[in-house]
Structure 1
Amino acid sequence: MTDIEMAWSELGGDPARLSRVSTVVREGSLQGRLPVRELARACVGVCALAAAELGARRAGLAEVPAVRVDDGAVATAFVSERHLLIDGRAPVAFAPLSRFWRTADGWVRTHANYPHHRQRLLAALGLPEGLVPSVESALAERSALEVEEAVYTAGGLAVALRTPEEWAAHAQGAAVAARPLVERERLDSAPARVLAPIAPADDGTPLLPAAGLRVLDLTRVIAGPVATRTLALLGADVLRVDAPQVPEIPDAHADTGFGKRSATLDLAADGRAFEELLAAADVVVTGYRPGALDRFGLSARALAERRPGVVVAQLSAWGAYGPWGGRRGFDSLVQVATGIAAAEGSPEQPGALPAQALDHGTGYLLAAAVLRALTEQSHEGGGRVVRLALAGTAQWLMNGVGHDRAGETSYDGAGGTVYDGAGPWLAEADSALGRLRYARSPLSFAGGPPDWTRPPGPWGADAPRWS
């Protein structure tokens, strides 16, 4: 089974649809020891196909529009945060305390981009707010596993470097390996969703498969916002909602805020306002650690009880199961735990993927799962929940992607061409944040939207209500 066939099967898609997908191969894109290009291509391909399928159904088309996956567009989008310029300024990707550190017996990687995570890391190490050399010395005296446990106990983020074999033997690694890449479940017996017809693409008007759908975006950098950014491209009214006391990193918001509006809401104090949003929502996307939102009545079952027929999309780092089911995590940490960092470098000198491919890949898969759930609902009914984890995508990259090239989807061009830069897939736009240079979406299907209709605005600047 090819990579895109496997991903499409995980989404419950009709295999006959795959004949509508073609690929432009560009050698040299997303180069690494692991098959990152193949993973990225498959994730974007199934997302575009799911969009085309829903668009065909809503527009009454006899055939699903043709999908074209261009390695250049995909490679550019998978490092969108590196291409972003705001009035000519490049964002800072990682804070000084987010990095690899030597320990007494190996390596550990920390994540401290958010102020509260930095504070918890320093508290776990018994250090005042201070200098990198102090952290370096403190970590050098401890074992990697000791650091991992101490920092997580304090509510921070640190992960010991593991080899692929060590991760496979770990209880969480075994739990992830036992689960499907995409978990799909029916929540209720709501009647079939009646989606308003949309006009087929003509006279320059794009086909927008998600037009008229309302998406509540309860996610943070990067995978969840990539998914909702994609749904916004496809015409959805996406409202991102954050707690006012935990601001998003401005540059991260600028990269993933295209097409959306951004509001703040204290769920504990403004529960009624949230319920009004939920009452009119078609999709709810969550990206916090498993269980973190349950106290606000935001589990999938609780949401479906109050909003029958809703599609709930849940994203986590490690999965909502196993001993790490309640842990926080980010792409860089999942790479370290699952053996990717050791495979891209070595146990003695860890490396990293050429992109935060777990984040971006999982984001496109999550959007694809939402689109497929909406298609299924339109003739089967029933609320749906779909779940993905960065660790599940890592498992697929390490053990599934690129291992069977026979019968691959059709390619445009004999032998492909060379990826010689991101230029063709970059665009510029004025915004309330300044002049932006950004990566365009890699989703491409006949008649589909070429770009977002609105740039990102300031974080939290919009009212918490639907358009």
Structure 2
Amino acid sequence: MAGLQPGLSSDPDRIALPSRVPLPARTRTAELAEDATAALALAIDGLPTRQERRGPIDLDPERIGASYRSAALFRRDGEPPSVWDPLSGFFRARDGWVRTHANYPWHAESLARTLGLSGTRTRDAAAEAIADWPARELERAAFAAGGLAVAVRTAASWAAERGRAWPPPAIRLRPVGDARPWSGGTAAAPLAGLRVLDFTRVIAGPVGTRVLASLGADVLRVDAPHRPEPLWQWLDTGEGKRSALLDLASADGRRILTELLAGADVVVTGARPGALARFGLEPEQLAERRPELIHARVRAWGADPDRATHPGGDGASPWSDRRGFDSLVQAATGIAVAEGSGGRAAASGADVTPGTLPAQALDHSAGALLAAGIIALLGAGRGGTVEATLEGFAGLLLGAPLLAPTELSEIGDPDRLAGPGSVDGPLGTVAIARPAYQAAGVPDPGPWAGRQFGEDRPAWRDGAAGG
């Protein structure tokens, strides 16, 4: 283990890793992947049903690297997915760079409206429009309109802007209630009998709940009917789960939600703070309703030192209230500059072309630690809250010295990562990278053929709840 210390790790000497995870980057991305996966493995081995397996834990660096790069390795009928919308990516603004995210139609619509685009939304049209905007002005306008764009900053400028809020904790546990040791599960399915209600999408939350499903939990993902998930994205992290569509704004939807919550052991959410208050799904609301429940949340940005105004003093909304994704956090915090062209000049704020990590490593690490936190609370027999913050994982990377370009050869070539297995199913021939870690003694289900998104009833496996 490398010592970036994402939290929750104990007994690191039990971890055996034969070589570095092949995720080459100037920031210590490979080490973050190693430490996050190790923390997850140690948490799983802390469950009561695994008392007899407290020996060395072997990690597979190739498997970890492939899992982190699952979007790049995914294939359906031999074809890669269309991961990025034309309006997503880095664009040069009038006074710097911005990073946009428009992979969901509603975000693309908001950004296009902000930019004044009509008709065909091409990358060239977006580039032309963005070139006229000051970067931070576009950032404020896009967020205000419900879109997603951030100005690319250096690590130093982001730290100064965030002040005492930087860096936020990557992972935080708040146990509540009396200890009630987890009594479910078996050696082969340590979380059998656990009910997990999953309201997350994209990568971090789904990666975390996939871990729980792999250990035998009944994971039911719930999405709004009018907010579909790209099929490839669901297939990439949906293994072992069921998926239902439910309109929480309707009377019937609220009734079913109440029934599902009554039977749930764990609720996992990924919306920005306050966004789910009208459905009673904020941590404080759930704790008041059911103190014994475990609530896990992924958030993009940490808390602000002064919620009345934006830390930069420009009157914009606090960062903690904003939507965000891994790619946007990389851009805002200085990772994009550190990974950009220009070598060490990037760290000093020289004008460089921004770059990216070799994987959505903030997301994958947050997912691993989110699952580890849930498992830690279960092992302790406690309810409470687990919170993973992408900005905090960025802080772990930026708080460690950058690797010199000459050191990258030691990490390896990402194109040589072990690829996923392929399997034929009703959705074609699907190739999906395996999860980063499978606990010894827990059957690895092998390649997943997949199932359609939203095809299940909103009910637990035993039929309780739902209509």
Given the alignment, which residue of 95, 100, 123 partners 1:105? 95
Question: What secondary structure, in the 3-state scheme, does the structure 2 residue paired with 1:325 have?
Answer: helix
Quickly say closer, same or farther: Cα 1:281–1:150, change in 2 above 3 A: same
Quote how far apart the aligned CAs of 1:306 are.
2.6
| 1:337-385 deviation line (CA, Å, top 9, x unaligned) | 00000000144211111111111111111111111111112xxx4x210
Task: Pick from 271, 274, 277 the counterpart of residue 294 of structure 1.
Answer: 277
Contact 2:98 2:135 in 1 (8 A): yes
- 8 Å CA contact 1:183, 1:387 repeated in 2: yes
Q: Deviations over 1:406-434 (max 9, x none)?
A: xxxxxxxxx999887234x5222233322
Counterpart of 1:181 in structure 2: which amino acid? A
Partner of 1:53: 46
Query: Which residues of structure 2 form unaligned runs of 5+?
Result: 306-317, 341-345, 404-409, 462-467
Q: Which amino acid aligns with 2:80?
A: A
Match of 2:363 in 1: 359
Classify 1:134/1:416 alpha carbon distance in 2 versus 1 (closer, same or farther; 3 Å): closer
The Cα of 1:2 is off from its aligned counterpart by: 4.9
What pairs with 1:289-368 in structure 2 (closer than 5 Å)?
289-322=272-305, 323-345=318-340, 346=346, 347-368=351-372
Q: How many residues align?
A: 431
Q: Kindly tell me: are residues 429 and 190 of structure 1, through their superposed partners in 2, closer, same or farther at Cα, counting changes over 3 Å?
A: farther
- Tell me the TM-score normalized by structure 1: 0.87
Deviation at 1:197, TM superposition (A): 5.2
> Which residue, out of 9, 16, 28, partners 1:22?
16
Q: 2: distance between equivalents of 1:452 and 1:286?
A: 27
| Matched ranges for 1:47-446 at <5 A | 47-54=40-47, 57-59=48-50, 61-132=51-122, 133-171=124-162, 174-177=164-167, 179-187=168-176, 189-190=177-178, 192-196=180-184, 198=186, 200=187, 207-269=188-250, 270-322=253-305, 323-345=318-340, 346=346, 347-377=351-381, 381=382, 383-400=383-400, 421-423=416-418, 426-446=420-440
Q: What SS does the corresponding residue of 1:239 show, helix, strand or coil?
A: strand
Determine helix, strand or coil for the equivalent of 1:285: strand
* Offset at residue 134 of structure 1 (A): 2.7
Q: Give SS of 1:235's match.
A: coil
Match of 1:411 in 2: none
Q: Among 29, 32, 38, which residue is 1:36 paired with?
A: 29
Instruction: Check the 8 A contact 1:259/1:455 in 2, yes or no.
Output: no
- SS for the counterpart of 2:37 is helix
Distance in 2 separating the partners of 1:466 and 1:176: 40
Distance in 2 of aligned mates of 1:455 and 1:304? 37
Give CA deviations for 1:63-102 in whole Å, capped at 9, x if unaligned. 5253211211111000111111112221111011101111
The alpha-carbon distance between structure 1 residues 431 and 319, as it changes in their structure 2 partners (threshold 3 A), is farther
Q: Mark the CA change 1:454 to 1:104 in structure 2 (over 3 Å): closer, same or farther.
A: closer
Provide the secondary structure at the position in 2 that maps to 1:396.
helix
Cα distance in 1 for partners of 2:106, 2:97 equals 23
CA contact (8 A) 2:430 2:450 kept: no
Q: 1:53 to 1:239 in 2, by over 3 A?
A: same
Assess if the C-alpha contact under 8 Å between 1:53 and 1:65 holds in 2: no
Deviations 1:145-201 (A, max 9, x none): 111111111110000010011111112x64141x322111134x2551442252x3x
1:283/1:137 Cα in 2 relative to 1: closer, same or farther (>3 Å)? Answer: same
Distance (Å, rounded) in 1 between the aligned partners of 2:263 and 2:49:
20
Q: Contact 2:268–2:296 at 8 Å: present in 1 too?
A: yes
Residue aligning to 1:410: none
Q: Does the Cα contact within 8 Å between 2:2 and 2:34 map onto a contact in 1?
A: no
3-state secondary structure, aligned to 1:3 = coil
Q: Secondary structure at 1:224's aligned position in 2?
A: helix
Q: Check 1:399–1:82 CA distance in 2 against 1; reply closer, same or farther (3 A cut).
A: same
User: Structure 1 residues 419, 144: CA separation in 2 closer, same or farther (over 3 Å shift)?
Assistant: closer
CA RMSD of aligned residues (A): 2.3
